Amino acid sequence: MSEETKRRNPFPTVDIIIELEGREGAIVLIERKNPPHGWALPGGFVDWGESLEDAAVREALEETCLEVELQRQFQAYSDPDRDPRHHSITMVFIAQATGEPKAADDAKNLGVFTEDTLPSPIVFDHADILRDYFSGRY
Query: CA 87, CA 99: separation in Å to the nearest integer?
Result: 34
For 93-116, what is each residue's pLDDT tens digit? 999 999 999 999 989 999 999 999
* pLDDT score recorded for residue 6: 72
- Write the CATH number of the domain with boundaries 3-135: 3.90.79.10
For 38-75, what is each residue's pLDDT tens digit? 999 999 999 999 999 999 999 999 999 999 999 999 99
* pLDDT score recorded for residue 4: 65
pTM (predicted TM-score): 0.93
Q: How many residues does the chain have?
A: 138
- Within 8 A by CB and 6+ apart from 97, the residues are 18, 19, 20, 21, 28, 60, 64, 66, 67, 68, 69
Give the amino acid at 102: K
Domain ranges of the chain: 3-135
Pairing state of beta strands 11-20 and 88-97?
parallel
For 72-81, what is each residue's pLDDT tens digit? 999 999 999 9
Residue 33, pLDDT above cutoff 90: yes
Residue 3, classed as helix, strand or coil, is helix
